[in-house]
């Protein structure tokens, strides 16, 4: 019995059922052509079938693999992950408010310092330099559209 596969298959099954639920609201036939519900229904059914198969296989397999040890990362690792996701999310929230340069500088500085707290200074300098170069390269030279915000 493979625990991990069981869990993921069960999740897959749940996703399939939810998808089918949403897909049932779509028409299967429309006017003179197949409607938008055809493909999703096939997919949802397929996923349900595959998940069931997967679940079965994971359950009847004779090798017994409990949840692997390395599943939950060590504390330092969790902090790293939180930093990455958190800073990206924060960036998404503020970038249009504060503008490209300020937000990107903050993002870079935060990440560089978070991953190597011993070198705060070089982190800041690197963040500043990279943002400056990126701005010149992407916004000024290539005319990429970036949010202006409070400070360009």
Partner 1 sequence: MKVNKALLLTTLAMASILMISLTGCGTQQAQYPTGPVTLVVGWSAGSGADGAARSLAEGTQKHLGQPITIKNVPGAGGSIGATEVVNAKPDGYTILFSTGSMVTQPHFESVPYKPGENIIPVIQVGGYPIALIVRADSPYKNLDDFIAEAKKNPGKLNYSTAGFGSILHVVAEMLWQKAGVTLTHVPFASNREGVVALMGGNLQASIGTPADFLVDVREGRLKVLGVAMPQRAAGLEDIPTFKELGYDVTPFGWWGVAVPKGMPDSISQKLHDAFKKGMDEPPFTDWMSKNKYTKVYLNSADTLAQWKREMAMYGDMAKTLKK
Partner 2 sequence: MDVGIGQQLLTGFAVALTPGNLFFAFLGVTLGTLIGVLPGIGPAGAIALLLPFTFGMEVTPAIILLAGVYYGGMYGGSTTSILVNIPGEVASVVTTFDGYQMARRGRAGPALAIAAIGSFVAGTFSVIALSLVAPPVALAALSFGPPEYFSLALLGLFAAAYLSGRSILKGVTMVILGLMLSAVGVDIITGGTRFTFGLIELSGGVDVVPVLMGLFGVSEIMFTLEKPLRMEVLQTRFKLRDLWPSGEDFRASAAPIGRGSVLGFMIGILPGAGAMVSSFLSYALEKKLSKHPEKFGTGAIEGVAGPESANNAATGGAMIPLLVLGVPYSVITAIMLSALITHGVPPSPTLMTRAPEFFWGVVASMYIGNAMCLILNLPLVGMWAQLLLIPYSRLAPLILLFSVIGVYGANSRVFDLWLMIMAGVLGYLLRKAGYSPAPLVLALVLGRIMENALRQSLLISQGSPLIFIERPISAALFLMSLVILAIPAMRWLSRRSAPALQGMEE
Neighbours of 14 (CB within 10 A): 12
Per rule CB under 8 A, is residue 70 in the interface with partner 2?
A: yes
Q: Are the C-beta atoms of residues 3 and 66 closer than 8 Å to each other?
A: yes
Among positions 61, 132, 136, 152, the unique one binding partner 2 when judged by CB under 8 A: 61
What are residue 30's phi and psi, to 5 degrees?
-140, 110
- Residue 20 binding result from partner 1, partner 2, none, given CB thresholds of 5 to 8 Å by partner type: none
The C-alpha atoms of residue 38 and residue 19 are separated, in whole angstroms, by 13
At 45, is the secondary structure helix, strand, or coil? Answer: helix
- The reply on whether position 92 binds partner 2 by CB under 8 A is yes
26 three-state secondary structure? coil
- Using DSSP, state whether 122 is helix, strand or coil: helix
In 3D space, the residue among 32, 31, 48 whose CA is nearest the CA of residue 40 turns out to be 48
Among 77, 120, 129, 148, binds partner 2 (CB under 8 A): 77
Q: Is 46 in the site for partner 2 (CB under 8 A)?
A: yes
Kindly tell me which of 44 and 123 has the beta carbon lying closer to partner 1.
Answer: 123
Contact residue for partner 2 among 10, 17, 50, 102 (CB under 8 A): 50
Out of 1, 14, 85, 125, name the contact with partner 2 by CB under 8 A.
85
Q: What is the closest distance, in whole angstroms, from the C-beta atom of residue 91 to partner 2 in the complex?
A: 7
Residue 132's binding partner among partner 2, partner 1, none (Cβ under 5 to 8 angstroms by kind) is partner 1
Q: Decide if residue 148 touches partner 2 (CB under 8 A).
A: no
Please tell me the distance from the alpha carbon of residue 97 to that of residue 150, in angstroms, as a whole number.
7
| Residue 43 sits in the site that holds partner 2 (CB under 8 A) | yes
């Amino acid at each position: 019995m493979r625990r991990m596969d069981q869990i993921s298959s069960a999740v897959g099954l749940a996703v399939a059922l939810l998808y089918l639920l949403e897909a049932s609201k779509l028409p299967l036939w429309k006017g003179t052509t197949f409607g938008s519900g055809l493909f999703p229904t096939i997919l949802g059914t397929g996923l349900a079938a595959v998940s069931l198969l997967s679940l079965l296989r994971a359950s009847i397999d004779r090798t017994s693999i409990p949840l692997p040890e390395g599943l939950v990362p060590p504390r330092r690792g969790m902090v790293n992950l939180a930093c990455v996701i958190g800073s990206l999310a924060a960036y998404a929230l503020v970038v249009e408010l504060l503008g490209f340069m300020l937000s990107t500088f903050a993002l870079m500085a935060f990440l560089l310092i978070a991953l190597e707290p011993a070198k705060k200074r070089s982190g800041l300098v690197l963040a500043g330099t990279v943002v400056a170069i990126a701005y010149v390269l992407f916004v000024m030279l290539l005319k990429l559209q970036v949010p202006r915000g409070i400070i360009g």
